[in-house]
Chain A
Amino acid sequence: MIADIFGNLGMGLSVAITPINLLFLFIGAFVGMIVGLFPGFGPAAGIAILLPLTFGLDPTTAIIMLAGIYYGAMYGGTITSILINTPGESATVASTLDGYPLAQQGRAGPALVMQAIASFVGGTTGVILICALIPTLANLAASFGPSEYFLIILFGLLLLATVMGDNKINGIISALIGFAVGMVGVDVISGSQRFTFGSPELIGGIYFVPVAIGLFGIGELLYCIYIGQHKIELKKLRLSFRSENFWPTRKDYSESKFTFIRGSVIGFIAGLLPGSGGTLGSIMGYSIEKKVAKDPEKFGKGEMRGLVAPECANNAASAGSMVPLLSLGIPGSGSTAVLLGAFMMWGLRPGPMMIVNDPEFVWGLIASMYLGNIVLIFLCIAAIPLFVKFLDIPYRLVIPIIVVLCVVGTYALHSSIIETWMLVAGGLLGFGMKLYGYSPAATVLALVLGGMAENTLLQSLIASDGSLMVFVERPISLFLTCAVAVVLLAPYALKLYRYVTKRNVGLV
């Protein structure tokens, strides 16, 4: 088993370590860190906006660069959490709880160095666990039929739509919008045109990239303008290696040694669950660390373990969320949905067959994640003063960069002005969704998986002559159906339990 892991990783490293791949990995990680610095722009927006820039590249190099952006954004998002109490994205919210108080106590340097180390440990642990899990899961997935695939998609979407969002109905509507948009085009089974209104431009369907760029890029941008991000006058922040107390103390390391392990494992497990990803992982990492601590009262007041735990967890979760993507071909989050779209754009179809047919690519990508973590820890520590300077750039000067990249990038996809208008439509929808608590990530995930969901559902129903028993006949499908039922019914059961308990207490 261990020999297999090292053998596979060695094969991956031989694919990933080329001067071009390393260069684009570095560029991706660097750009990703900058993307992560700007509030509201997480990895999903970064990957979607910068996707068109990878067109001139070899598919392996392109995916390695995009994975670098994904990781870089996770690293970069924390810098603003620590320095200005503004998380770059939701997965780094938990890092503000102790990160910002540390900065206020004049310990911004140690906090930034420790977050870089924690991110490295989390990311690296995640990669090692991926190596162990992916072949096993892919073998299991090889025995899956269409009913199991449909149930996994349903389970992932329900988790993303109902567990992660504030409003369950909004989450479900968001996913249904993604499915509805995904239905436009030609039906692969019957060959009939659907929702094309006779337009030749729509026969090929609505391409996911303009919609994703619109929802994540333009939608987020409009929301940031709406809340006045562009009006904020920034305070100039400075950090230097020569400044006093830049490096963490021995006490910081010794106190956090078990936190690194706990946070990484918790984060990875959270990342495996479709839809949960880094946000849930980091919150769980923080809460569990606080629970096991002998001095929980220190948390929230500038405790280094309170920063290390969520940082390890969110980076391990990013690695964990690659497991369902690579072994099942089913992304678990908005970011990995955009990555899946990029895979498809390059003609790659992740899933159990890709590991069998294209092992060099899969292991090359996994090895690049490991290399990405090494690049990022050096980049993160060596360039902290530089990244801090990026925070001096007011948001109003970033707006035109984002718009121009979104519009020109979308046009460059197929030289289509209609797709560019779809970007605007996606942007308006994304703005409304963000404003009123819907989930653009669920929309993109459903859009990317819409075709697969429909095909697997129809195949299951045709094979079973329309009987729904196909979803409970086999042990795996029965287990998945129960999981779906739990996700759907658990909140109501909990409500009922609370109501009954309250009433009983009232009666006593």
Chain B
Amino acid sequence: MRIWFSLTLFVLSILYLAYGLSTLSIFTSAGRPGPGFFPTLVGAGLVIFTAINCYKDFMERRASAAKAQQTAMEKQLSKFDDDDTNDQEEKGTNSQGELSGQRYTKDVVWAIALITLFIAVLKPLGAILSMVVFMLILLWKFNPKRMKFNVLYSVLFPLGIYLLFEVWLRAGLPEGILGY
């Protein structure tokens, strides 16, 4: 995944530099630095450093792929040699699987989706209702064992936030279909 992040930054850097160069002048007609001078320096720096990162990530990926291939080959060879060693290797794979299982990518995707939904419905539903809906779904997902508590928490906390921002700070939160 690291390489994808680096590649995304690299592509965005190229787009930033290209857009800057095509829309802004680097020097004014008097030969002084123009509006595109600093953005060009920044964009060029970004392109260079993100490219270095992409190259490094690519090389690391290739090295780890070669290492994995070598390990797989050694494993194949050891299959013919020793059954005990085979058991140990399998155990190693399992423990690695458990380690990678300790990363909660699905939960992160859930959280991002819910935050996106929360913002998308903030104006149409209004602040209170969207906060309540967001909290109910999030707690149903992350804290499923205590539904009664979740409902109470999802109603009382948004109410407190509404009072804080709307009544005390007069922040003008979205009213939505409920009118508050």
Contact = CB atoms under 8 A, between A and B. Distances in A.
Interface stretch (B65-73, B75-83, B89-97, B166-174): B166-174
A408 B39 contact: no
A240 to B, nearest CB: 27
Given A55-B171, A226-B105, A412 B33 contact: no
Nearest to B136: A400
Nearest to B3: A436
A453 B42 CA distance: 11
Contacts of A466: 31-33
A169 B56 CA distance: 11
Interface in B82-108: 102-105, 107-108
A484 to B, nearest CB: 15
A56 B115 contact: no
B9 A411 contact: no
A420 B122 contact: yes
A458 B37 contact: yes
Contact of B24 (A192, A225, A403, A405): A192
Question: Which of A176, A454, A458 has most B Cβ within 10 Å?
Answer: A176
Contacts of B34: 190
A388 interface: no
B122 A411 contact: yes
B45 A462 contact: no
Given A173-B53, A415-B172, A190 B103 contact: no
Interface string B133-153: 011001100110000000001
B2 interface: yes
Contacts of A222: 108, 111-112
A56 B169 contact: yes
A468 interface: no
Contacts of A415: 171-172
A417 B39 contact: no
A285 interface: no
A180 B142 contact: no
A190 B115 contact: no
Interface residues of B, number: 66
B108 A225 contact: yes
A200 B43 CA distance: 23
B63 interface: no
Given A173-B9, A424-B116, 16 more contacts: A180-B16, A183-B39, A190-B34, A195-B19, A195-B39, A218-B115, A225-B111, A226-B103, A226-B105, A230-B104, A396-B142, A399-B138, A403-B114, A409-B165, A427-B115, A458-B37
A192 B107 CA distance: 43
A351 to B, nearest CB: 21
A407 B119 contact: yes
A53 interface: yes
Contacts of A397: 139, 143, 153
Contacts of B172: 412, 415
Contacts of A454: 38
Given A172-B49, A421-B119, A403 B143 contact: no
A424 B38 contact: no
Contact of B35 (A190, A403, A435): A190
B157 interface: yes
A230 B24 contact: no
Given A403-B134, A405-B161, A462-B32, A53 B169 contact: yes
A141 interface: no
B20 A408 contact: no
A470 interface: no
Given A228-B104, A404-B158, A169 B39 contact: no
Nearest to A458: B33
13 contacts: A56-B168, A56-B169, A176-B45, A180-B46, A194-B24, A195-B39, A399-B142, A401-B157, A407-B119, A411-B122, A417-B122, A453-B38, A466-B33
A169 B122 contact: no
B127 A408 contact: yes
B32 A194 contact: no
Contact of B115 (A170, A173, A180, A403): A403
B105 to A, nearest CB: 7
Given A187-B35, A404-B157, A407-B118, A412 B173 contact: yes
Contacts of A228: 102-104
A179 interface: yes
B62 interface: no
B164 interface: yes
B61 interface: no
Nearest to B171: A412
Interface string A385-419: 00000000010110111011101110110010100
A436 B2 contact: yes
B114 to A, nearest CB: 8
Contacts of B125: none
Interface in A40-69: 52-53, 55-56
A404 B131 contact: yes
B143 A396 contact: yes
B53 A169 contact: yes
A412 B172 CA distance: 7
Interface in A420-466: 420-421, 423-424, 427-428, 431-432, 435-436, 453-454, 457-458, 461-462, 466
A412 B138 contact: no
Nearest to A437: B2
Contacts of B59: none
Given A180-B42, A420-B119, A403 B103 contact: no
A400 B35 contact: no
A379 interface: no
A417 B34 CA distance: 33
What 9 pairs between A and B have smallest CB-CB spacing? A412-B171, A187-B35, A454-B38, A396-B142, A192-B35, A190-B35, A179-B42, A56-B169, A400-B135
B45 A172 contact: yes
Contacts of A462: 32-33
Given A221-B111, A404-B157, A431-B108, A417 B35 contact: no
